[in-house]
């Protein structure tokens, strides 16, 4: 089990696979919604033509645009703020877990960047850099992804709960960096579980919709 | 369509709470941004009992800037108010009474006094110059509702938060505050804005003794009958655009005395009505909904909700409709007697299939079935069918589970209560003019008792509508004080109102003859 936590290839692949799966399923969910609405619509969908309101026809793109517009639901400021924070922390926690200490990727880690590793605020600067990069990606997630799903309160709570969970994961990874070259397997394992549980919680609305859609 | 939900009284407040729940997750009971309700609805709670407002934590005081908020209408009347004193001394009514304990006639009388007593009106407008119209209580209430509507001056700044283009009042029929307040407030709004859509959802209290307040059924039935009578006897220009009826007896049989579960279920059933996420091109404004509801009618329709929800599966339409119309009725009715059906679905529902399923199970012609579809929740399909006037069968009152039977029972109970010597509807301590007015209203030649008896006969004969003419408590007082006016017109009507009445009559006549959107003349004729 410990080797699983320390297996970098497995971990990074799993992380990216879950992310890629989420993106793919989100696109699939949108496409499925469009297809189902088109199939049950009163208006005929014209593959090429422009929308013709009077003739009861509508172009594919126009219908898609209208569906997306109608699907959008406001989820609330608390949730949106927490979701953006959670996604930023997810990337930060991922970076801290796999790329802070050399025991997972000996040639690709924080200690290889000498000006950071030797600086008094190195850990923080490393984290802030990752947060800065991930801000762009995280900022559009609530509007471009969660906004299109009808999220239950429990789903929202799970997404919001990812924030403290990821903070714990980051804290434990920082601890690893502090005690390096020693390794605390217990906290490593917990950091791993917190990281992946959070990723699952953040992506769950998309996966759940895809599962529901398959039925 | 975006509705402003106004819960009135205890039951209305509990249900409004369900509709207005914040969809955001509060942190330490706070939301950083705007309150986000399901379907974008907004609203408030009007209550008469201060203690009720203190026993809950969801609504805060509107006057302290809370949202969602409550408002106690009579709070604007001060303890030393002259208006208060006049009403108390001259009519024997306490304007500051905390709750009305199943007395629909109490608030009805109070608001009528403001309408009829010119001296009181001028006193009230000089005492409350901020509310210059004839009734400061109603005006203050409307001032609290109006900001959530498209009639307010507030405009949509961020492109997201939209104002409501219609109002849904939620009341219990057989309670106190909601039962008594709904008619005056809807009439007041209609008097100011004749075309603004106003709907009412009334929850008829259950049979037997109310376990919470020990109020006996006959007493509650009288309140419910008076309230329903007042709602149904005004023309569509003055009254509401539809009365959605829910029978708490059906709910109690299903959920026991778990009123919280009942409120949750009623809210769930009404979600397709208020939900957003419409199918493209299927988002009518409330005004269009209003026109559909009252098309071909000159009195507000009764709308019976039938709801069902199922896990998503292939071709769900037929099963959803069948179960909604058989097991999902929220009020007893005969779907085959309905003259129209307004259908709200959530999920991926086929337009043609849903129309054909409803037509085959209810016999309503396809052109009189109006579906509005919305995207649903993950994995669920839902349907809410509002059947318009699904009653009118001869001997229908003998058939279990019909609207006729339930309403017949309610009116019968109301008469029983009026005849009970212990009811003491005309109290000894009241001033003479009030006693005379009440005596006349309840037991006079054209009093409400007589009209209830006529309604029973109509129901037995399968006639509709069963309530016909409006009846006021201080009717005789008005006649005596303004004989000329009433001899000529009955009451003051302005040109605009006359025009609207004539238009409604003309469109009804055209519909009966098969012109315009009317359709089946036979069915329209049945409406009487």
- pLDDT tens-digit profile of B156-177? 555 555 899 999 999 999 887 8
Q: What is the pLDDT of residue B518?
A: 40
Name which of A39-48, A137-146, B87-96 the model is least confident about: A39-48
A194 touches chain B (CB under 8 A): no
> Is the Cβ–Cβ distance between B54 and B22 less than 8 Å?
no
Q: Which residue has the higher pLDDT, A159 or B30?
A: A159
Domain ranges across chain B: 3-78+138-154+162-276+285-291, 302-388
The residue written with tokens 């337009």 in the block is B351
- The pLDDT of residue B236: 86
- pLDDT-flagged residues of chain B (< 70): 98-102, 154-161, 213, 477-528
Whether the per-residue pLDDT at A129 is higher than 80: the answer is: yes
Pair A7, A84 in one domain: yes
* Host domain of residue A62: 41-71
Identify the residue among A39, A76, A155 best suited for mutation to test binding to B, counting B beta carbons within 10 A and taking the highest: A76
Work out the mean pLDDT of chain A and round it to a whole number. Answer: 87
Do A62 and A79 lie in one domain? The reply is no
Q: Which residues contact B231 (CB under 8 A, 6 or more apart)?
A: B182, B183, B186, B200, B202, B239, B240, B243, B300
A76 and B36: CB-CB below 8 Å? Answer: yes
In a shared domain, residues A128 and A46: no
DSSP E strand boundaries for chain A = 44-46, 57-59
Q: Are B193 and B238 in contact (CB under 8 A)?
A: no
The verdict on A208 and A102 lying in the same domain is yes
If you measure CA to CA, which chain A residue comes closest to B36?
A76
A62 and A8 belong to one structural domain: no
H/E run at residue B233 = helix B217-233
Q: Which residues of B334-348 are buried (b: 16+ CB within 10 A; e: fewer)?
A: bbebbbbbbbbbbbb
pLDDT of residue A8: 82
For the record, the structure tokens of A189 come out as 């394992």
pLDDT at B28: 80
Report pLDDT for B503.
Answer: 67
Query: Average of pLDDT values for A112-126?
Result: 85
- Is B278 within 8 Å of chain A by CB? yes
Residue A180 has φ and ψ, to the nearest 5°, of -50, 140
Considering the domain architecture, whether residues A92 and A147 belong to the same structural domain is answered as yes
Do A131 and A172 belong to one domain?
A: yes
Instruction: Report the gap between the CA of B366 and the closest CA in chain A (Å).
Output: 15
The burial of A48, by beta-carbon neighbours within 10 Å (0-12 exposed, 13-18 middle, 19 or more buried), is given as exposed
User: If one looks up domain B3-78+138-154+162-276+285-291 in CATH, what number appears?
Assistant: 3.40.50.1440
Distance from the Cα of B151 to chain A's closest Cα (Å) equals 24
- My answer on whether A170 and A201 are in the same domain is yes
**B528 lies within 8 A of chain A by CB:** no
Tokens standing for B205?
Answer: 């209290």
DSSP A111: G
pLDDT at A6 over 60: yes
Q: Say if residue A64 is in the same domain as residue A80.
A: no
Nearest to B26 among A39, A74, A78 (CB): A78
C-alpha to C-alpha distances, A71 to A22, A64, B161, B292, B498, nearest whole angstrom: 18, 10, 16, 26, 43
- Largest Cα span, chain B: 69
Write the pLDDT tens digit of every residue in A85-115.
999 999 999 999 999 888 888 888 888 888 8
Chain B environment of A161 (Cβ under 8 Å): none
Same domain, A96 and A113: yes
Question: b or e along A126-139 (b: 16 or more beta carbons within 10 Å of the residue's beta carbon)?
Answer: bbeebbeebeeebe
Q: What's the structural domain count of chain A?
A: 2
CATH 3.30.1330.20 assigned to B302-388:
yes
Rounded average pLDDT over A58-85:
88
State residue B489's pLDDT score. 40
Query: Is A75 in the B-facing interface, judged by CB distances under 8 Å?
Result: yes
Range 253-272 of B in CB contact (< 8 A) with A: none
Distances (CA, A) of B406 to B201, B221, B293: 17, 11, 23
Q: What percent of chain A has pLDDT over 70?
A: 89
**Measured between CB atoms, does A61 come within 8 Å of chain B?**
no
Pairing of strands B380-388, B302-311: antiparallel
Mean pLDDT of A60-67: 85
pLDDT of the residue at B206: 92
Q: Using 50, 70 and 90 to split pLDDT, how confident is the model at A123?
A: confident
- Does any CB of chain A come closer than 8 Å to the CB of residue B313? yes
One domain for residues A56 and A125: no
Length of chain B: 528
Cis before residue A181, ω within 30 degrees of 0?
yes
Q: Same structural domain for residues A194 and A125?
A: yes
Q: How far is A127 from chain B (nearest CA, A)?
A: 26
């Amino acid at each position: 089990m410990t080797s699983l936590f320390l297996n970098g290839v497995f971990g990074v692949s799993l992380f990216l696979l879950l992310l890629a799966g989420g993106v793919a399923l989100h696109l699939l969910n949108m496409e499925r919604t469009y297809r189902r609405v088109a199939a049950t619509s009163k208006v005929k969908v014209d593959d090429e033509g422009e929308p013709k309101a009077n003739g009861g026809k509508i172009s594919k793109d126009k219908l898609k645009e209208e569906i997306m517009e109608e699907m959008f639901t406001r989820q609330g400021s608390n949730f949106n703020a927490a979701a953006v924070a959670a996604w930023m922390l997810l990337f930060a926690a991922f970076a801290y877990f796999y790329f802070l200490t050399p025991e997972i990727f000996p040639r690709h880690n924080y200690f290889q960047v000498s000006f950071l590793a030797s600086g008094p605020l190195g850990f923080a600067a490393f984290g802030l850099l990752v947060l800065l990069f991930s801000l762009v990606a995280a900022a559009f997630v609530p509007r471009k992804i969660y906004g299109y799903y009808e999220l239950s309160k429990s789903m929202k709570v799970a997404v919001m709960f990812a924030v403290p969970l990821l903070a714990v994961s980051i804290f434990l990874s920082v601890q690893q960096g502090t005690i390096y070259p020693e390794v605390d397997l217990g906290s490593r394992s917990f950091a791993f579980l917190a990281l992946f549980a959070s990723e699952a919680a953040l992506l769950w609305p998309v996966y759940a919709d895809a599962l529901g859609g398959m039925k | 369509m975006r509705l402003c939900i106004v819960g009135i009284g205890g039951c209305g407040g509990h249900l409004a709470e369900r509709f207005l729940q914040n969809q955001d997750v509060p942190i330490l009971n706070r939301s950083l941004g705007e309150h986000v309700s399901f379907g974008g609805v907004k609203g408030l709670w009007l209550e008469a009992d201060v203690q009720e407002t203190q026993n809950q934590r969801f609504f805060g005081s509107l006057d302290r800037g809370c949202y969602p908020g409550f408002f106690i209408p009579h709070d604007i009347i001060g303890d030393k108010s002259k208006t208060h004193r006049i009403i108390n001394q001259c009519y024997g009514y306490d304007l500051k009474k905390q709750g009305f304990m199943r007395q629909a006639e109490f608030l009805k009388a109070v608001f009528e006094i403001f309408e009829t007593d010119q001296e009181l009106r001028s006193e009230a407008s000089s005492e409350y110059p901020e509310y210059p119209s004839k009734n400061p209580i109603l005006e203050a209430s409307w001032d609290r509702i109006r900001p959530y509507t498209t009639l307010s001056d507030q405009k949509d700044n961020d492109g997201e938060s939209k104002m409501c283009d219609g109002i849904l009042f939620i009341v219990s029929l057989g309670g106190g505050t909601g039962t008594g307040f709904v008619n005056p407030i809807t009439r007041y709004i209609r008097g100011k804005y004749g075309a603004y859509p106003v709907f009412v959802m009334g929850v008829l209290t259950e049979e037997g003794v109310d376990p919470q307040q020990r109020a006996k059924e006959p007493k509650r039935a009288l309140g419910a009958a008076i309230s329903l009578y007042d709602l149904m006897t005004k023309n569509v220009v003055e009254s509401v655009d539809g009365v959605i009826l829910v029978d708490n007896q059906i709910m109690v049989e299903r959920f026991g005395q778990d009123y919280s579960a009942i409120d949750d279920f009623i809210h769930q059933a009404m979600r397709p009505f208020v939900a957003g996420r419409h199918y493209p091109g299927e988002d009518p404004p409330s005004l269009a909904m209003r026109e559909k509801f009252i098309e071909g009618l000159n009195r507000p329709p009764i709308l019976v909700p039938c709801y069902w929800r199922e896990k998503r599966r292939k071709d769900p339409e037929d099963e959803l409709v069948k179960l909604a119309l058989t097991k999902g009725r929220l009020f007893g009715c005969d779907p085959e007697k309905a003259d129209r059906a307004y259908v709200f679905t959530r999920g991926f529902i086929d337009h043609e299939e849903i129309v054909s399923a409803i037509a085959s199970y209810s016999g309503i012609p396809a052109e009189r079935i109006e579906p509005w579809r919305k995207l649903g929740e993950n994995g669920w399909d839902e349907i809410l069918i509002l059947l318009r006037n699904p009653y009118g069968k001869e001997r229908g009152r003998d058939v279990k589970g019909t609207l006729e039977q339930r309403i017949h029972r309610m009116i019968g109970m109301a008469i029983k209560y009026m005849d009970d010597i212990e009811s003491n509807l005309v109290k000894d301590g009241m001033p003479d003019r009030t006693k005379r007015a009440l005596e006349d209203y309840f037991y006079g030649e054209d009093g409400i008792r007589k009209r209830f008896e006529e309604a029973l006969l109509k129901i037995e004969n399968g006639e509709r509508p069963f309530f016909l003419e409006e009846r006021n408590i201080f009717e005789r007082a008005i006649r005596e004080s303004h004989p000329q006016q009433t001899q000529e017109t009955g009451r003051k009507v302005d040109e605009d109102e006359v025009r609207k009445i004539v238009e409604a009559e003309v469109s009804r006549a055209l519909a009966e003859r098969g012109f315009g959107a009317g359709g089946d003349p036979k069915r329209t004729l049945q409406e009487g």
